[in-house]
Amino acid sequence: MSEITFSDLIGKTILIGLTYYTADDEFIEQKQYWGTVIESNENRILVKLNDGELFGLPPDLSSTKIAPPGEYRLRSTGEVVVDPDYLTTWNINRPKED
């Protein structure tokens, strides 16, 4: 299987999963979004979310994979996304507060 390229993402549906942790790696929350990739290059990946908002992702394809066919239920909203093209997941550590 060939690697995903930036140009592969353009016009495709992507499901985004974000998991937030404290600076000490304690779980805070998970968020999920989905939409259509409208820009994808070495500078950024820009997604037009299903609600019309724009959402930027870092230009790193290592956490992006081809989505297996099926229905994906968003935990936060109960919304079902059918057969997205790609999945991307990110773990985000919040900085330590002084």
pLDDT in tens, 58-83: 999 999 999 999 999 998 789 999 99
Contact (CB, 8 A) for 66 and 9? no
Give the residue from 14, 53, 18 showing the smallest Cα distance to 35: 14
Residue 2 has pLDDT above 90, yes or no: no
| Percent of the chain surpassing pLDDT 90 | 89
The whole-model pTM stands at: 0.90
The arithmetic mean of pLDDT across residues 7-25, rounded, is 96
HSE-CB at 15 with a 13 A cutoff on CA atoms is: 21
Of the chain, the percentage scoring pLDDT greater than 70 comes to 97
